[in-house]
Amino acid sequence: MSSLSTFHLLSVLASEMNMRKAAERLFVSQPALSQRLQSIEAEWGTKLFIRSQKGLTLTPAGEIVVKFVNEVLDKEEKVKEAISAMNSEVYGTLKIAVASIVGQNWLPKVLKKFVERYPHAKISLVTGWSSEILRSLYEDHVHIGIIRGTPDWKGVKIHLFEDHLFMVDKEITSPEQVLETDRPFIQFKSDSNYYQEIQDWWHRQFKALPKRTIVVDQIETCKQMAFNGIGYAILPAITLNGGEQDIFKIPLLDENDEPLKRDTWLLGYESAFQLKHVQAFVSLIKEHIKGERK
């Protein structure tokens, strides 16, 4: 910037108090420097330096101007340091939309590591069904989304983990017992993708509807009702932390006798992954998942 280059020139002159030495530091000729100083003094409307055979002397006005100039240059240096720090540190607000089940049961540990490692970064987090997460991404409201299921996404798509589905109950020990029990099947509302997976499995397994059904709006409510013996439920492993007491967990199998599972994906547009704080978050997630697998 021209004003800063002018300020730098005045600062060097005030430091050297000698035209020849100042010209050498600024890599210009003495006549060119003298002419430039005359122009600067004309802009300020007053003499800033008095020239003599002994060198330069600041005028009272020059002392005021040089003090101001050095203050500005000092602030410039601090701004440059801050910008440099931003290039090495992680700043900005990370905007995430995440499936509620992941936001409640898996993401908090990752976010804890993120805020501890990057104290200058901020987080904006919204949760919802996977279909809502995709909408937030399409409408460019968030940098990245974390969803469940198999997404139809054309941007960056990173597989995070998979977890198996279990029938959980305090009494039932095998899927066939649901045909004999009068205990209710407790369902939680979810996006159509997850609901369809459960329905397909149920019809393959039993060829009939549950005798009794209780529908709740939250997966945590469903889990607590099952854990308290009200009925049985189908829950993903992500909600089961291993501390359940007296609960039978029966793995669900598909038509090939393979475990029925749900995938979790991280999605975003390519442009978002160019941002430093997004890169830092994705890197930390990969590190966290690697640690979980050990």
pLDDT in tens, 156-194: 999 999 999 999 999 999 988 988 888 999 999 887 678
90-294 maps to CATH 3.40.190.290:
yes
CATH of 2-88, one of 3.30.70.1060, 1.10.10.10, 2.60.120.620, 1.20.140.10: 1.10.10.10
Backbone angles phi, psi at 63, to 5 degrees: -60, -40
- Paired strand residues for 261: 164
Tell me how far apart the alpha carbons of residues 153 and 161 are, in angstroms, rounded to a whole number: 17
Q: What is the mean pLDDT of the chain?
A: 90
Average pLDDT over residues 257-272: 92
Q: Which of 263, 274, 290 lies closest to 149, judged by CA?
A: 263
Tokens of 162: 């998979």
The one-letter amino acid at 117:
R
Residue spans in the chain of domains classed CATH 3.40.190.290: 90-294
Question: pLDDT by residue (tens digit) across 235-252?
Answer: 999 998 776 778 999 999
- Strands 248-251 vs 156-169: parallel, antiparallel or unpaired: antiparallel
Tell me how far apart the alpha carbons of residues 142 and 137 are, in angstroms, rounded to a whole number: 6
